[in-house]
Amino acid sequence: MLKVWIGLSLALAAAPAAAQEAPQTRRWLGELAGGGEAAPKRIVVDAQLSPGYEAFESQLSGWLAVLDPALGGDDFSETCVSGRCAITAGLEGGELAIAADLGGAAAGPVEGRYTFTLYGQEPEKGTVRFTALDGAAPGLSAFAPPDAVTAQQLSGWLDILGFEQGFTNDFEDGPPGDRERRGLAQWQQARERAGGGLILADDLAALRAEAEAEQRRIFWQNIQGRGWSGAYPAGTLEVASGAGPDGVGRRFSSAGGEAYVEFTAEPPMTDEAWDAFVEARTADREGREGRGYTRVNDDMEIAYTEGGKNVSEVYHRREGGVVRMVLSYPAAEAEAWAITEPATVRAFRPYAP
C-alpha cells in the first residue's frame, strides 16, 4: 500500500479581505480521473481561509485527506494568489501535482488537471473535479463541530489504543493538529473507515467509546502534582507510596514491586546544569542497552534496558523546576507493556504550578 504525505497550495479568487475578518471554513471534494491504479481517486480538503498579507493574496491552512485508496493525509498552510490553485503533494515514493481555479465562492464544480508520479516511473496525467462540500462527503459521516474534541483529548484516546503519535514538546491544548490527525488516520484505516484524518462525528464517537472502554479495562488513572499531570494503569500498578526517602512525589508499584512508575518535581536548573544533566543521563554506561532518546530544548525522553528492566524516563524543565516521570518494568513483560508504556509516557505533561 502506498502511503501519502501531502503538502498543498490552494488559491481562492476572493477579493482582498480586511485583516480583521475571521477565518472561513472551506471544504472541497476532489475526484481524480484518468490516472493509473495507484493514483488517488478521491481527496477532501478541510481548510480555513484567511486574508493574506498582500493584495490578491489569501492564506489557506488545514488538512487534506486521501480517501480512495485510503492513504491518510497531511496538513498544509499556504499563500494563495489571484484565485489560482496550485497543489503540490509530496508523497512517500512519489508526487501529486494539481492545478485548478476554485473561485472565490468555492461553489464549484471546478475542473482542473493533475500529474501523479511514482519515483522512477513515467508520470500519470488526468483531470480533477472539485465540488464544494456543504455537508458530509459521499460515503462519510458529518464533520464534527469545531469544539468537539481538543488535541490532548484526541491524542489520549489514540495513545491508549496503540496509535500513539510520538514525541512532542508542544503542550498547549487546542484544536487537533497534524500530529493528532495522522494518528486518527491510522485508526480510521485500521478500523476500515475511509476518513483519512478527517474529524468526523461518527468516527469521533466510535473512537471515544473504544478508548474509554480500554481505559476502564486497565483502570487508567489520571493524576497530577506540583507542575505536572499524568496517568498510569492502576490495574497493574495498584500499590501507592511516596516516591523517595523524603516522601516527595508519588510512586505506584505492582503487588510484587517488579514494576513501578514515579512522578516527582525537582528544583529549577540553570542552562548549564540542565545540559550537564542531559549528558549524564544519556551517556553510555556498562550494563545499559540503549533504546534511544529524544531531546528538544527543555524536554527529554529516554528509554533503555538495564538489569533486566525496561525503563522510560521523561523530563520537562520549566522556570518553576524540573518534573520527572520514570516507568520501569521487567523486560520479559515488554509485550504486555507495548501499548501502556508509550501511553504513560505521552500522558506526562508539564504545566505552570
Measured between alpha carbons, how far is residue 82 from residues 10, 11, 79, 104 in Å?
Answer: 10, 7, 10, 9
**In the chain, which ranges are continuous DSSP H helix?**
151-160, 178-190, 201-217, 271-282, 340-347
pLDDT at position 102 = 62
Measured in whole angstroms, the distance separating CA 281 from the mean position of its chain's CA atoms is 27
3-state secondary structure of 146: coil
Residue position matching grid coordinates 507542575: 227
Distance CA 117, CA 120 (A): 8
pLDDT at position 219 = 97
Backbone dihedral angles phi then psi of residue 211, each to the nearest 5 degrees:
-65, -45
End-to-end CA gap in the chain: 47
The reply to whether omega before 342 is within 30° of 0 (cis) is: no
Contact 198, 65 (CB under 8 A): yes
Question: Could you give the domains of the chain?
Answer: 24-132 (2.40.128.30), 141-217 (no CATH), 218-353 (3.40.1000.10)
pLDDT at position 11 = 38
Q: Which residue stretches of the chain have pLDDT < 50?
A: 1-19, 103, 245-246
Other Cβ atoms less than 10 A from the Cβ of 187: the count is 22
Contact 342, 163 (CB under 8 A): no
Q: Concatenate the DSSP letters of all residues of 193-252 into one string.
A: ---TT--BHHHHHHHHHHHHHHHHHTTEEEEEETTEEEEEETTT--EEE-SSTT--SEEE
Distance CA 294, CA 299 (A): 8
pLDDT at position 243 = 60
pLDDT at position 330 = 97
Q: What is the pTM of this model?
A: 0.84
pLDDT at position 105 = 55
pLDDT at position 17 = 40
Measured between alpha carbons, how far is residue 132 from residues 48, 99, 202 in Å?
Answer: 14, 16, 21
